Structure 1
Amino acid sequence: MRPSSLLDDRTARLLPWLVAVAFFMQTLDGTILNTALPAMAIDLAEDPLRMQGVIIAYMLTVALLIPASGWIADRFGTRRVFFSAILLFTFGSLLCALSMTLPQLIGARVLQAVGGALMMPVGRLVVLRAYPRSELVRVMSLITLPGLVGPLLGPTLGGWLVEYASWHWIFLINLPVGALGCYAALRFMPDLRGPERNHFDTLGFVLFGAAMLMITLGLGGLGELHMPHARVMLLLFAGAACLAAYWLRAGRIAKPLFSPNLFRTRSFSVGILGNLFGRLGSGALPFMVPLLLQVALGYSPAEAGMSMIPLALAAMAIKPFAKLLIDRLGYRRVLTTNTLLLGLLIGSLGFTNAQTPLFMLLIQLGLIGAINSLQFTAMNTITLIGLHDREASSGNSLLAVVVQLAMSLGVATAGALLGGFTLEGAAPGSEAVLRAFQLTFLCVGGISMLASTIFLQLGREDGRAPPQP
């Protein structure tokens, strides 16, 4: 691999592996936790159906901080920020393992997410600046490969650790990897900064972040937090007001956090809205499926974790065919049809019960994994493909925020529905709990299918031609 003038030969060889390990830590953590939620709930004396805050806290914190990651790296230097990100992620993992109550665990997850929010954006930024464009595809492929392995190992490893050790080990395994990452960051991470000090839209950041926080808390208030409906409505309306204030302000200042001009590109507008609503169902799946298997159907943690393997394997297997399908059928047809199929498959989990054969459930999850993977590839590409070079960075940041926000909203929505359908005092494994899961999957599947109407707004040739200068 030919290094740029910024790197010596050894650093050029090792830097991609450093960023790849950070990516692996983040993606593994995002999937290993879900299988452990029931065991964690028992240990913390909580209801297993009210544990979604542990997931939402992480996703929402990452979404909040992604817009500031580039500015922070330019201001303080990539080496210091990347080292601090790994250190915070590792220290947050230790605090998660030491948590004695659910609020303590959620607080530790927020600290862990602060590190996670900076690791990958700063890592990608360093690669973008340090390597010539001719090497970029090769380096990015190496970096993203562990991101495919993490979801494959996570549920299975989480299930085995919970069953044969304890849930604390899903966080403790981050400690030696984090210590090695901190050493490598100080040794091999170049200290790069932006060419000039850029202005950061602080007020826009506060308004946008407040909107995301209040809307997500409002949805969570319907489920896990048991808020009065008046308080939930107040949070939702306040969040909508902050979002409206942000966009009105962004339209009249020179350098907003995210420019409204991005939405003049139809494919970007459709892609962002499609990602927001189309990912609600897929965002809920990693939270809902392990709970269904363990709390409603009586699977062990290890069995529940291994049942998720077909989903990850099918997602990896479909990747090589995604471009071929999109080139042949076009984005409009692929996304509209695929979104309907995804919603139907998620809804089909609503018919799962104790008599459902395991092989049938594994086939369902495998199909969901394949359709989901194709969906992500097509949605991400159509969102960015029509942007000019000068808009690509801002558009990519907004897409990253929307992806995290949609997944946290998916978990919050599923949690609210599950809490609403669960009868007071229903015991795990009872018919009432299974019925609540079935109704929740049917509703989430229906919501996912509605997102297909967004992709109908694409033109037949959108995504096939480069953006006009």
Structure 2
Amino acid sequence: MTESDSTPPPAPLATATGAARSSPVVPVERRRARLTAMIVACALFMQNLDSTVIATALPTMARAFGADPVHMNVALTAYLLSLAVFIPASGWMADRFGARNVFRVAIAVFTLASVLCGSAQSLSSLVVFRVLQGLGGAMMLPVGRLLLLRNTPKSDLVAVMAWFTTPSLIGPVVGPPLGGFLTTYFSWRLVFDINIPIGIIGIVLVTLFIEDVREPSDSRFDWVGFAFAGLSLGCLMFGLETVGRGIAPEWLTGATLGVGLLAGLAYALHARRHPAPLLDFTLLRYRTFLVSVIGGTLFRVGVGAIPFLLPMMLQLTFGQSAVQSGLITFASAAGALVMKPVAMAVLRRFGFRDTLLCNGILSALLLALCAGFNPGWPVVAIYAVLLAGGFFRSLQFTAYNALAFDDIPRTRMSAATSLYSTIQQVSLTLGISVGAASLTVAMALRGETAPGLGDFSVAFLVVALVSLLAAPTSLGMSRNAASEMSGHRQRD
């Protein structure tokens, strides 16, 4: 947006008059929006990279701490739980203290926590520092998205969101092989120390180049809602992380999920009576937001299982090393990068509804093709499937992330980013749980304790089916939905 909150956004590029196109305002707005997108994307890449990069370093860290390697998973879970608990508060924080200020502090907290994690001398201290990292990360994702929404003309939002979605696709793929490389040839502490220069540069760039456009709010913090939402999300995330993976006893997983559901119900009842709840479910009344939430959740469940299933399948059934499997899975990230210049042209030609429908079906089919992978496949063919899959999945994410905020009033943007980011985090974790549960059931049906190639095939087909269910949700809106963003015009 412009420097004054009261100034209307520039006309969409697809319908702008010649006078509007010749005005210097639109290029200035566009440059500012894209610069903001690149700065935010770098910070989010740091966050997404960190959430997965330590996975391959855990055995080495266990030896350094003298801890049981099985117990090291708590370092991963602590971070995810912290994210889930604190994300709902991000919207209120941004309105109260300013989105740029909160984003800058979030980077600082995350970077400081990285330093502390890299100097940890025991598993218990590492867990405490990972919780602190989660606090910083919980503010970065939704507040970074809010900065983009408030600094970007609607006609440029798709292009900007294309950059915003990149970290979520590349980070989980790059993280494990990078962590293995640093741990093998240098030290596991570098897994955390690589965040230091990124964080410092991010703070400087945010200070210099990102405008602090805010929506003042005098609403009081919803402490009761925060308690219910935090308990619900924390328990649900813990339960989803442990179900079917042998990390925790089955009774504990079941009890945690039950408490999470009850706390979620309590929050829903509380939110109906509160004038400004942290997670405002009335936002689901906006059609484009509802379609994006439902379709995006189903799609992310399918995609969220890939970083869990694919490397494990390549290592356990193909006999590949961690580095070899990492290089192959990186193909999906490369496909995501190739998509960036194409997204706007596709949406302008076909619109959001038809793009999400057709591209969603194609993405699910490419995910299902992974079920057919076997050691006899040429490496080039595997690369081709993953490259194409990354391309079309990235297009789908870009469309969902832009579509969600088309109808949302400016005054409710912060609440919308909190709710959307919370649902997004849960759905990605649910994807890992669905993949793990499918793998476990397939093994149980065969009476085996170790997964075979057929078990991975079943798991890929299950998550592909869930992803496929997302495509028809786009039929709940018109062909011209969000046309100001896409520039698409067609009669229904």
Q: Distance in 2 between matches of 1:180 and 1:70?
A: 24
What residue in structure 2 maps to residue 448 of structure 1? 467
What residue in structure 2 maps to residue 281 of structure 1? 302
Q: 1:437 aligns with which of 456, 464, 475?
A: 456
Conserved? CA contact 2:81–2:238, under 8 Å? no
Q: 1:397 and 2:421 equivalent? A: no
Q: 1:219 and 2:240 equivalent? A: yes
| C-alpha deviation, 1:280, in angstroms | 0.8
Q: 1:459 and 2:477 equivalent? A: yes
What residue in structure 1 maps to residue 111 of structure 2? 90
Q: 1:207 and 2:225 equivalent? A: no
| C-alpha deviation, 1:69, in angstroms | 2.2
Q: Distance in 1 between matches of 2:434 and 2:73?
A: 10
Q: Distance in 1 between matches of 2:320 and 2:425?
A: 29
| C-alpha deviation, 1:361, in angstroms | 1.4
**Residue identity in the other structure for 2:262:** A
Conserved? CA contact 1:268–1:386, under 8 Å? yes
What residue in structure 2 maps to residue 9 of structure 1? none
Residues 29/422 of structure 1: CA separation in 2 closer, same or farther (3 Å cut): farther
Q: Distance in 2 between matches of 1:71 and 1:126?
A: 14
Conserved? CA contact 1:51–1:224, under 8 Å? no
Q: Distance in 2 between matches of 1:377 and 1:143?
A: 8
Conserved? CA contact 1:89–1:114, under 8 Å? yes
Conserved? CA contact 1:24–1:146, under 8 Å? no
The 3-state SS of whatever aligns with 1:367 is helix
| C-alpha deviation, 1:365, in angstroms | 1.0
After superposition, give the CA deviation of every residue in 1:168-224 in whole Å (9 maximum; x if it has no partner): 322221234335556777888889986453322222222223222222222233234
Residues 95/360 of structure 1: CA separation in 2 closer, same or farther (3 Å cut): farther
Q: Distance in 2 between matches of 1:386 and 1:377?
A: 17
Q: Distance in 1 between matches of 2:154 and 2:291?
A: 31
Residues 463/106 of structure 1: CA separation in 2 closer, same or farther (3 Å cut): farther
Farther-moved stretch of structure 1 (307-316 vs 152-161): 152-161
Q: Distance in 1 between matches of 2:249 and 2:309?
A: 24
The 3-state SS of whatever aligns with 2:340 is helix
Farther-moved stretch of structure 1 (395-404 vs 139-148): 139-148
Q: 1:116 and 2:116 equivalent? A: no
What residue in structure 1 maps to residue 90 of structure 2? 69
After superposition, give the CA deviation of every residue in 1:131-153 in whole Å (9 maximum; x if it has no partner): 79699979968985984896486
Q: Distance in 2 between matches of 1:150 and 1:168?
A: 22
After superposition, give the CA deviation of every residue in 1:150-177 in whole Å (9 maximum; x if it has no partner): 6486566445434433443222212343
Q: TM-score, normalised on structure 2?
A: 0.75
Residues 297/41 of structure 1: CA separation in 2 closer, same or farther (3 Å cut): farther
After superposition, give the CA deviation of every residue in 1:40-92 in whole Å (9 maximum; x if it has no partner): 33653799999876555434533432332243345456676455423321232
Conserved? CA contact 2:88–2:418, under 8 Å? yes
| C-alpha deviation, 1:284, in angstroms | 2.0
**Residue identity in the other structure for 2:236:** I
Spell out the pairing of 1:309-324 with structure 2 (5 A cutoff): 309-324=330-345
Q: Distance in 2 between matches of 1:184 and 1:323?
A: 27
Conserved? CA contact 1:219–1:416, under 8 Å? no
| C-alpha deviation, 1:265, in angstroms | 2.4
Q: Distance in 1 between matches of 2:125 and 2:386?
A: 33
Conserved? CA contact 1:63–1:402, under 8 Å? no
Q: 1:326 and 2:343 equivalent? A: no
CA RMSD across the alignment: 4.4
**Residue identity in the other structure for 2:44:** Q
Conserved? CA contact 1:92–1:111, under 8 Å? yes
Spell out the pairing of 1:115-154 with structure 2 (5 A cutoff): 115-122=136-143, 144=164, 147=167, 151=171, 154=175
| C-alpha deviation, 1:279, in angstroms | 0.4
The 3-state SS of whatever aligns with 1:251 is helix
Conserved? CA contact 2:159–2:344, under 8 Å? no
What residue in structure 2 maps to residue 30 of structure 1? 48
Spell out the pairing of 1:46-445 with structure 2 (5 A cutoff): 55=76, 57-75=78-96, 81-82=102-103, 84-98=105-119, 105-122=126-143, 144=164, 147=167, 151=171, 154=175, 157-179=178-200, 181=202, 195-224=216-245, 226-419=247-440, 421=442, 432-445=451-464
What residue in structure 2 maps to residue 10 of structure 1? none
The 3-state SS of whatever aligns with 1:249 is helix
The 3-state SS of whatever aligns with 1:384 is coil
Conserved? CA contact 2:103–2:139, under 8 Å? yes
Residues 321/181 of structure 1: CA separation in 2 closer, same or farther (3 Å cut): closer
What residue in structure 1 maps to residue 58 of structure 2? 40
| C-alpha deviation, 1:258, in angstroms | 3.3
